[in-house]
Amino acid sequence: MGPTVFAVVTLVFVIMHVAAGDPAAAILGEESTVEIRQAFRAKYGLDRPLWVQYISYLTDLAHGNLGVSYINNQPVLSNYLEMLPYTIDLIVAAIALGLFVGIPLGTISALKRNSLIDYTATMFSMSIIGFPVFFLGILLLYVFAVRVDLFPVLGGGDLSDPVSRLRHLVLPALSLALVEGARVLRVTRTSMINVLSQDYIRTARAKGLRERRINYVHALRNALIQITTFVGVQTTVLLAGSILTEIVFNRPGLGRLLVGAIHARDYPLIQSGLLIYAVLVVLVNLLVDVANCVIDPRIRYG
């Protein structure tokens, strides 16, 4: 984890400072004078050599200091901590709903292979996968917020009010969960079909074990290894996909904050945002490895 995060930090720092563009001009405006821009660069240390800025940045990171935003002159950490709960809510809810729908339907589809249920589930998953996430979000907004008026149109709700927080979460999470559930369904079906064709499944049937135990204890548990790995990969994809969802629903979150920072060339906000995303991705991969070891203890000795 350490080398991966360090590599991301270094790469982002170099790209941000080498890329064309002047943060002083972007924030202060083209009409600002040369003296004002120079004062801005001196205030934030942008006039120092690149290697000096890099060492200073790493030193601040080691002390837990992510810097100060150029835009609002507030600590970057407080900006992201304020937005982090909204993104965590969205990702966790989308994954939970996707698994709740995808694993049961995928399992039933595999057990009823080439039946009407299987064909219906397959058509449903392929249809949903073909829709862009932002289109599903707009469609859900139009139906359930504009026409039916069941949920709020925009915003993220009050974090101190669970009811408000949940009502603002339903539609954004559902727009991501529909696509996630369809993909999990496909992976679950394929994984279950592969597992059900293994020799140990035929041996279990020959020993007279009940079909329910064979399907849900032996087959599904082994199929969960591939499903867990896939969900880990999809979680990193959802972190990126949440940006569009937050924009469509005008919902606060890490993605919208990062996009705004990129437009303004706010180096501290951009570097810290990408660092947070990198840490989240690494943690997700670690959790996937741990979950697979719990599902199949033989992995620990592989």
Please give the structure tokens belonging to residue 86.
Answer: 């909204």
Length of the chain measured in residues? 302
Task: Give the residue carrying structure tokens 């009823």.
Answer: 112
CA 120 to chain CA mean position, Å: 29
- Which tens digit of pLDDT belongs to each residue from 42-77? 887 778 888 888 888 888 888 888 888 887 788 888
**Predicted pLDDT at 148:** 83
- In whole angstroms, what is the distance from residue 56 CA to residue 60 CA? 6
**Predicted pLDDT at 261:** 83
**Predicted pLDDT at 300:** 63
Q: Which of 87, 282, 103 is nearest to 180 (CA)?
A: 103
Please give the structure tokens belonging to residue 296.
Answer: 């199949």
| pLDDT above 60: residue 81 | yes
- Which tens digit of pLDDT belongs to each residue from 203-251? 888 888 888 888 887 888 888 888 888 888 888 888 777 888 888 888 8
**Predicted pLDDT at 208:** 83
- Which tens digit of pLDDT belongs to each residue from 2-37? 888 888 888 888 887 777 567 777 777 777 788 888
- Which tens digit of pLDDT belongs to each residue from 260-279? 888 777 888 888 888 888 88
**Predicted pLDDT at 301:** 59
Triad 199, 202, 207: Cα angle to 5°: 125
- In whole angstroms, what is the distance from residue 234 CA to residue 213 CA? 29
**Predicted pLDDT at 244:** 83
| pLDDT above 60: residue 82 | yes
For the ranges 78-87, 173-182, 257-266, which has the lowest average pLDDT?
257-266
- In whole angstroms, what is the distance from residue 79 CA to residue 73 CA? 10
Contact 93, 169 (CB under 8 A): yes
| pTM, two decimal places | 0.81
**Predicted pLDDT at 142:** 86
Q: What is the DSSP string of the chain?
A: -HHHHHHHHHHHHHHHHHSS--HHHHHH-TTS-HHHHHHHHHHTTTTS-HHHHHHHHHHHHHTT---B-TTT-SBHHHHHHHHHHHHHHHHHHHHHHHHHHHHHHHHHHHHTTTSHHHHHHHHHHHHHHTS-HHHHHHHHIIIIIIIS--S-SS----TT-HHHHHHHHHHHHHHHHHHHHHHHHHHHHHHHHHHHTSHHHHHHHHTT--HHHIIIIIIHHHHHHHHHHHHHHHHHHHHHHHHHHHHHTT--SHHHHHHHHHHHT-HHHHHHHHHHHHHHHHHHHHHHHHHHHHH-GGGGG-
Residue 302's pLDDT band, with cuts at 50, 70 and 90, is low
- Which tens digit of pLDDT belongs to each residue from 154-176? 788 888 888 888 888 888 999 88
- In whole angstroms, what is the distance from residue 163 CA to residue 145 CA? 16
- In whole angstroms, what is the distance from residue 182 CA to residue 103 CA? 10
Start-end ranges of CATH 1.10.3720.10 in the chain? Answer: 82-301
Q: Which CATH class is domain 82-301?
A: mainly alpha
Q: What are phi and psi of 121, to 5 degrees?
A: -65, -40
**Predicted pLDDT at 27:** 72
Please give the structure tokens belonging to residue 189.
Answer: 């079906």
**Predicted pLDDT at 21:** 65
Mean pLDDT of 133-153: 84
CA 229 to chain CA mean position, Å: 15
Contact 175, 137 (CB under 8 A): yes
User: Which amino acid, 241?
Assistant: G
